[in-house]
Amino acid sequence: MSRRSLIKSGYAGAIAMTAGTTGALAQTGGDQTGDATPEEDWREITPALTAYIAGGASHEVPAAIRERGRLHVLDTLASIIACHSLEAAQLGRKYAAAMSPGGESPILGSRQTASPIDAVFASAMTAHAAEINDFIPSAYVQPGPAIVPTALETARQHKRSGKEFVGAVIAGYEIAGRLPKAIGTRNLYYAGLANHGIAPTFGAAAAAAAMMRLTPNEVDHMLAYCAQQASGSWQWLLDVRHIEKAFVFGGMGARNGLQAAMMAQLGFTGVPASFDNENGWFRWRAFQGEGKDHASLVEGLHERYEMSLAAMKRYPVGGPTQPAVRALLDLRQTVRPEAVERIVVAMPGEAATFERANMPALNIPYLAAIIMLDGRLDFVDAQSLSRQENDEAARGFAQKVTVVRDEAQEMGEGEDRTESARVTVSLKDGSQQERYIAYVPGFPTHPLAKPEVEEKARELVEPVLGKAKANRLIGLCDELDDAQSVDAVVDLMRFEAT
């Protein structure tokens, strides 16, 4: 009997035992597995997957990918510093303090401490308290908020080197980026599951496992507990205050991932080889639609890197709104707000979402209003629900802005996804001005260069910690591969929260 048959038959037997009789199964026509996965689509995943995660801290990684890894660490830590005073960050710390007042693990962006799980939860909530952290557009995942704090805390706890820490981060991004695409992003959507919550759970767990030096067998059990906690609803799109969203995108994945790794380390066992079981989560019947590619989860490991597909946000707004913001900032140099009759923003995809978004950083009419009225885009105002709701001048100007879908800007099937926008300003004198932005640097097709990432970090960190500490953070991240520990980074991330 093949390994696959053993996995399947063993699981079916367990179902029968739980039901108390095999007759119940017989009455429903078998083992209740649903439609079988076609033979040609099946490949054993577990051995390669668990071996990769277990060795995540020590893999040989190309220098260019390691540099991107260090830059994504910098980008995430800068986000934590900039967001430390926002509501989601405050609530994350409040929760951690209530749950584990005697804990000793540092909560980044504060001087507070908590248990390891509660500390990374609060740190991850802080990292995604605003729309400024990184993302993997091909997977619809924002990996940094959950993965970087989890890897940093486990590196601190287990006294790992900076090089090992960076390796663990890269491994976490690899799993978080590959998983939704292996299942099929559309399959996840139709199942009502948000990639943004599921992938960070597995990514954070992978990073923690690498730092904790779990064995492949322990990683196998860890994955079973990740699957049990794989959750997240698309209702985050309805969130107004960016708190539930910070939970789904950041805190939940960090908490669940670290918890799964710690459970496996302590001896918890789960369904073995669950990623190969036709009745397991990864191969579940709801994920059998078009787009799944199970083998892609492990194919090309050490050859193709999700880190090269990760993007950064140049402006403190959502990814799809970046080109419109760039165009509006350019136009504002020559256009006065009182001269504007109307503005039309044409963009690919679900344009209506960004015309009616509840969140300020995703609402293009609001962003257009404050850019035109202020002559700039401020980090605080870009996140300000209060201003969006109460600034009468901004509300009035926003009514002049229409967002429309432009199919001509959309990519073809199989082409690299990018973001673009065409902004047309009609003036009261009858003239028009237009800007077309094909992309904003930061997307995988046109990544931010190292000096640009460092410039963004300075813009976020200096207002909070000052120029000297901003430069210190940049230097520490740049030198991580030569650092004996991550303690200096953790120390810099500890400061009085406001």
pLDDT at residue 460 greater than cutoff 90: yes
**pLDDT score at 22:** 31
pLDDT at residue 60 greater than cutoff 90: yes
- Measure the CA–CA gap between 469 and 465, rounded to whole angstroms: 6
Domain 319-437 CATH superfamily = 2-methylcitrate dehydratase PrpD (3.30.1330.120)
- 23 versus 327: which is more confidently predicted? 327
Domain boundaries, the chain: 3-33, 46-309, 319-437
pLDDT at residue 14 greater than cutoff 70: no
pLDDT at residue 70 greater than cutoff 50: yes
Q: What is the mean pLDDT of residues 216-228?
A: 98
Give the strand order in the sheet containing 432-437: 401-405, 340-347, 421-427, 432-437
Closest CA to 213 of 69, 45, 49, 56: 56
Domain 46-309 CATH superfamily = 2-methylcitrate dehydratase PrpD (1.10.4100.10)
**pLDDT score at 8:** 45
pLDDT at residue 379 greater than cutoff 90: no
The secondary structure of residue 382, as a DSSP letter, is H
> What mean pLDDT is reported for the chain?
90
Task: Summarize pLDDT for 231-288 with one digit per residue, the tens.
Answer: 999 999 888 889 999 999 999 999 999 999 999 999 999 999 999 999 999 999 999 9
Q: What is the mean pLDDT of residues 410-427?
A: 81
Amino acid at 29: G
- 316 versus 25: which is more confidently predicted? 316
* Alpha-carbon separation of residue 316 from 12, 324, 383, 420 (angstroms): 50, 13, 8, 17
- Measure the CA–CA gap between 317 and 359, rounded to whole angstroms: 10
pLDDT at residue 186 greater than cutoff 80: yes
Closest CA to 171 of 218, 201, 224, 210: 210
**pLDDT score at 412:** 66
pLDDT at residue 19 greater than cutoff 70: no
Amino acid at 406: D
CA angle 185-307-184, nearest 5°? 10
pLDDT at residue 360 greater than cutoff 60: yes
pLDDT at residue 496 greater than cutoff 70: yes
Task: Summarize pLDDT for 80-102 with one digit per residue, the tens.
Answer: 999 999 999 999 999 999 999 99
- Measure the CA–CA gap between 305 and 314, rounded to whole angstroms: 22
